[in-house]
Amino acid sequence: MAKYTNQLAQETSPYLLQHAHNPVNWYPWGETALQKAQEENKPILVSIGYAACHWCHVMEKESFEDEDTAALMNQHFINIKIDREERPDLDHIYMDAVQAMTGSGGWPLNVFLMPDGRPFYGGTYYPPKPIYNRPSWKDVLHGVATAFHEKRDEIESQAAGLTDYIHRANSFGHNAAANGQELFTTASIDTMFNNIMGTADREEGGFGNAPKFPQTFVIRFLLRYYHKSKNQHALDQACLSLDKMIQGGLYDHLGGGFARYSTDREWLVPHFEKMLYDNALLVNVLCEAWQLTQKPLYKQAVEETLAFVERELCSPEKGFYSALDADSEGVEGKFYVWSRAEVEEVLGADAPAFCEYYDVTEGGNWEHTNILNIKGTANDNEFLRQCREKLMERRNQRIRPLLDDKILLGWNALMNSAYSKAYSVFGERHYLDMAEANMDFLWTKLKGSGDAFYHTYKKEARYPAFLDDYAYLISALIHLQEVTGNHDYLNRARTITRYVTEQFSEEETGFFFFTNKDQQDVIVRKKEVYDGAVPSGNAIMAFNLHYLGTVFDHQNWKDRAVRTCTALHQAIERHPGSFAVWAMMIQAFTYEVPEIAIVGEKADDYRSEVLRSFIPFRVVQSSPSGNDEFPLLAGKTRTADTLIYLCKNYECQRPVSQVHDLLRLLGNV
């Protein structure tokens, strides 16, 4: 029986449950803890992390499991643990505060609040003893506790200043022009391209210096730029980045799937955690790269990554789990790395050829062990596949990393879109079956009353869904409609979009808040616009509004999409790496959005053929016969031939009866 049990023992989050038996008297975020802080006039310590976070585990072992440290925390603070994936709204707010104070952020995020929830001090990881110019955690605790009682005026002033900063940083968009179509020019797109290429690593792929993240949105921008401009540098950098990621240690060469980021420039040493959202976004961009290049490497990576997702991140009910930990047996990466001796033991006489190809040496390529990465050239892919299977069989006998088995609405919707994309590109029916089964799961388990949804599910659905959840869900429904021709998905997407505009809108600017209008436990309703590890919910809503505005002829929705892009245009042009989904929206407005309607008995076959081609920014609807509910399908009578209409603002060219002719009209052939 555990020596200690705190308030987290009743939670469902794997991350919170990891801390349920710390000697720290942790509370979950909620009325009980917040009320206690007010009643006892104590500062609140909020510690934010997630289950797959390596340094979160380190700080827990060093400090939160230490009885003396816990006693200090319990004496002076009301201690609250937050899973950032359960409450991204709180994470955004307090991360902003810490970044304003320190110039950097990360997890674990440790921030000290006034009893009313306003932040006044914080940082990330603190060691048990002072090192590398970092104070010890105990020194921080003593210093904050003393200052709270002896320098209260200064603490109040700091809290007021930080809270004011967060509010001011959230006030953008009020002076934007209502219509900025004149800003959407090819010259502006060229500037974005040049700014992206200014950060490109032309030798190792990716953008910027280590640590390197996949930056899939930037790569997708480059693919679209190449498609329109035929600038070979754009395609080369996009493909170099994907090639290096797949060949490096970021990719799991035995089990498929990608780790979260690389700690080095060469993509060799990953931060070994595997996140659902990264793999969804990478599948998406790999499908698009394959459409443009037909490169077998990209198809193989898609197939292996989706196989990994189904094997290790899929519930029996077809919900997708959140992540796999970086650590196993308390050691980062231990599950994934190899000694030369173990490879030789498993592969015998085949080991030398395998080791040469995958850079396995006696001394190791990382901390005296080996991360598999491709250094050689393959003459016999079947030989390598058989070797990988044998090593995978051995690896499966190891102690596995922790699975974060909570199911998040937004991340599931991202993976749902990835399955739809993979089906549209490769025609594998199983991918469509997975997408539809997952959507049924989300509708059954995460839908609340009326049109509302919940954010997370594990045994039960919890927390009202956030903007990102709804934005990604609407987008997934749009993609499902495209690949199935089932208009019910569009009607669902419209209903949810109406709900979002009612519950999340900032009417003065056209942007959306991250939280709904009824949520009361945050000190500010933030508007998130940066594209980070996941796309900005506001950027995806711009896509949704424009698409659905076209499908249902809602001009105000289309105008709103243009308006938000206009408001951010200057920032997007200067910093396209941080606003790459927005940059793609501006590409769409600049290059124009083809409206494609397919009507006739063979609509399903023609639709599948159309979707196999790379046609960015398009609206696609298909039906066996006309349908007056939708402007693109209205008035189009059924004929002996299946016809394809290419339209702009519902003005359609003379229909064609062959997909090849459509592609010619689009300039794709």
Under a CB-based contact definition with an 8 Å cutoff, are residues 446 and 409 in contact? Answer: yes
Q: What is the pLDDT of residue 225?
A: 98
Q: The tokens of 223 are what?
A: 């693919």
Q: What is the pLDDT of residue 390?
A: 98
Give per-residue pLDDT as tens, 202-238: 999 999 999 999 999 999 999 999 999 999 999 999 9
H or E element that contains 46: strand 44-49
Q: Check whether the bond before 108 is cis (ω within 30° of 0).
A: yes
Q: How far apart are CA 543 and CA 584, in angstroms?
A: 9
Q: What is the pLDDT of residue 669?
A: 65
Q: What is the pLDDT of residue 182?
A: 78
Q: How far apart are CA 512 and CA 528, in angstroms?
A: 8
Q: What is the pLDDT of residue 132?
A: 81
Q: What is the pLDDT of residue 134?
A: 86
Give per-residue pLDDT as tens, 333-346: 999 999 999 999 99
Q: What is the pLDDT of residue 180?
A: 61
- The CA-atom distances, in angstroms, between 362 and each of 347, 352, 355, 471, 582 are 15, 11, 10, 49, 47
Q: Could you give all domains of the chain from N- to C-terminal order, each with its CATH number?
A: 7-169 (3.40.30.10), 336-397 (no CATH), 595-666 (no CATH)
Q: What is the pLDDT of residue 243?
A: 98
Give per-residue pLDDT as tens, 270-301: 999 999 999 999 999 999 999 999 999 999 99
Q: What is the pLDDT of residue 114?
A: 97
Q: What is the pLDDT of residue 378?
A: 79
The low-confidence residues of the chain, meaning pLDDT below 70, are 176-181, 669
366-369's contacts with Cβ under 8 Å and 24+ in sequence apart are 366/249, 366/268, 366/269, 366/333, 366/337, 369/337, 369/338, 369/339
Secondary structure (3-state) at 176? coil
Q: What is the pLDDT of residue 280?
A: 98
Q: Indicate the residue type of 249.
A: G
Q: What is the pLDDT of residue 177?
A: 56
Q: Where are the beta strands (DSSP E) in 261-306?
A: 261-262, 270-271, 274-275
Q: What is the pLDDT of residue 99?
A: 95
